[in-house]
Amino acid sequence: MNLVRFFVLVFMMISVNNLYSQSKETQEVVAETSKLKKAVETKNESAEAESYYNIGETFFNDRNFSKSEEYFIKSKNIYEKLNDKQNLEKVIRKLAQSQENQNKLKSAQSNYQKASKIGYSKSKRSLNANDASRLSSPVPENKAEAIQSNIQISEKENNKQDLAASYSQMADVNIENKNIPQAEENLNTAYQISKEQAPQQALAINQKLTNFYVDNKDFDKAIKAKKSVLKENFVKENSQKKVEQIQELAEIYIKKNDPKEAIVLLKNAYDIALQKGHTLEAQKSVKKLDSLYNISENTDASVLLYRDFLGKLPDLVSKDRSLVDNKILEDTEQKISQLLQEKKLKDELIRKKNIFNYSLIGVLVLLTGLIIFIFRTLKKVQIKNKKIALQSLRREMNPHFIFNSLNSVNHFIATNNELEANQYLTKFSKLMRGVMENSSEDFIPFQQELDLLQNYLALEKTRFADKFDYEIEVDESLNTQNLKVPGMLIQPFLENAVWHGLRYRTDKGFLSLKFTKNNDLLKITIKDNGIGIEESKKQKTEHQKTREGRGMKNTLERIKLLNDLYKKNIICTVKDSENGVFVEVSMII
């Protein structure tokens, strides 16, 4: 007989690939797998989580709790990532129910507590908290209180599945308290509630009820309960479920020690299985019949049964749908597994690519920062050097001015003109003090600059009294106290006008210095009626030309530095005019 069984199983496995029909549950899983693939491809994580949940619920309703747990966990992980509290609460509750049905009570209790803490709705918080309390409490009364609370919530929300489960749980508490009548009543109530909307749950509750009767040796009630379920439409319309229920009824008769009725029922189950193409159920009926025949030592009946089964096996397998479903489900799960693996690989590639990109960006940012730092440092060094150069240029007084001033003092003393010498020294000391006091500043108040220039021209007038007169005009719109200008920037041009133009005149000349304002522009004009630039060059020695060039060069360098550092846009123009030299200096104020 064992050899025959081996060939039966091999034949069944070979024939699976030739099958093509699908059950409702298989169709649902296949359909959701297609949605899942699309969700993964479009990176729609919410749709991906929903597909996992729907697949898990299909397995849950089919009482395949281990598979449902697997898919609920996948769904939960995504909803946690998305922080979708409403769906997260729903999937964690389902996960806890799957674990409870597998007797994983600690895990179930933990997940009920998690669901209650999410608290998307008050009723769901209470429902999950009650279930967590029911599993954690060792006291039957506390369990009953938690279950009764859930019954009220489920009735209010018309949740038939949870309501039936609660009555079934209450029956467990009744059994624990040895309250047999109440347990029977609650199981019957649970069955009546579930059979309308959840046939699989109803069958499980009916089986629990019949087991309850069998455990209490009340075989007649067990048989009555099983026969009543055979009359239900959801059993009569599902030949596989019908065969399974007939087989369970036969088991009750066997336990009742009524093998004859059991054999009749098993033959009936075998015939239906052959007719409808339920290979595994037919095999199960054959095995049970063989066991009963062996007990009664009816070997001939057993041999005839196996010969009949083997003879009808090809036709039976060709009709069988469950083998196809199992194969399709297996292939579908492999596709899901492959899909997840591909997603994982893609995510890993993206992660590595992102790491490379971020590293590259980081290096570029670092290099950019380093370049900016170096550039700013160099800029600061350049600015510092320019300021040092500007300070050096600013502190320089034309050496021949100081030398000539001292010679003038010497001349006044030599001619016993002590009064002139004292007056000259006083003016010279004031000028030198003003220059030294402002030597550390790039810009000084306009009034101070004006005082310095007036003092300087007064000195030169004292020295060359018969050579020139001068006049200074200041625009009344200029704010002489708040306006700041570069210190002693104009002095070299005045000195050139006196020393290289006016002093060579045979008669008395005139020097004009004007300050005018035009919007944000300050214009400084210097006019003299000296001998002019070209004629002055002819009358100078080579040594004088060298010194003059250096003085003007320093002034122009100073203007360039001021423009670079302070963006004053100082423009200097020096040219011969009809009578003498014309100088114009303009700057933004």
Domain extent listing, the chain: 239-319, 443-588
Q: Span 153-165, mean pLDDT?
A: 91
The pLDDT confidence band at residue 326, using thresholds 50, 70 and 90, is low
pLDDT at 12 over 50: no
Digit-coded pLDDT (tens) for 501-540: 898 888 899 999 999 998 889 999 999 998 888 888 777 6
The pLDDT confidence band at residue 398, using thresholds 50, 70 and 90, is low
Mean pLDDT of the chain, nearest integer: 84
Q: Span 466-479, mean pLDDT?
A: 91
What is the four-CA torsion angle of 480, 481, 487, 490, rounded to 10 degrees? 10
Q: Are 277 and 270 in contact (CB under 8 A)?
A: no
pLDDT at 579 over 70: yes
The H or E element that residue 573 is part of is strand 571-576
Contacts 24+ apart (CB under 8 A), 6-15: 7/310, 8/283, 8/309, 8/310, 8/313, 11/313, 11/314, 11/317, 12/279, 12/313, 12/317, 12/323, 15/314, 15/317, 15/318, 15/320, 15/323
Specify the pLDDT at position 8: 42
* CATH architecture of residue range(s) 239-319: Alpha Horseshoe (1.25)
The H or E element that residue 354 is part of is helix 322-395
Specify the pLDDT at position 122: 86
pTM given for the model: 0.56
Strands of 581-588's sheet in order across: 468-474, 509-518, 521-528, 581-588, 571-576
Structure tokens at 103: 């007797």
Q: What values do phi and psi take at 28, rounded to 5?
A: -65, -45
Structure-model confidence comparison of residues 468 and 418, the more confident one: 468
pLDDT at 414 over 90: no
Digit-coded pLDDT (tens) for 308-325: 888 888 877 776 666 566
**What whole-number distance in Å separates Cα of residue 54 and Cα of residue 364?**
47
Report the topology of domain 443-588.
Heat Shock Protein 90 (3.30.565)
The separation between the first and the last C-alpha atoms of the chain, rounded to the nearest angstrom, is: 115
Specify the pLDDT at position 196: 81
Specify the pLDDT at position 541: 65
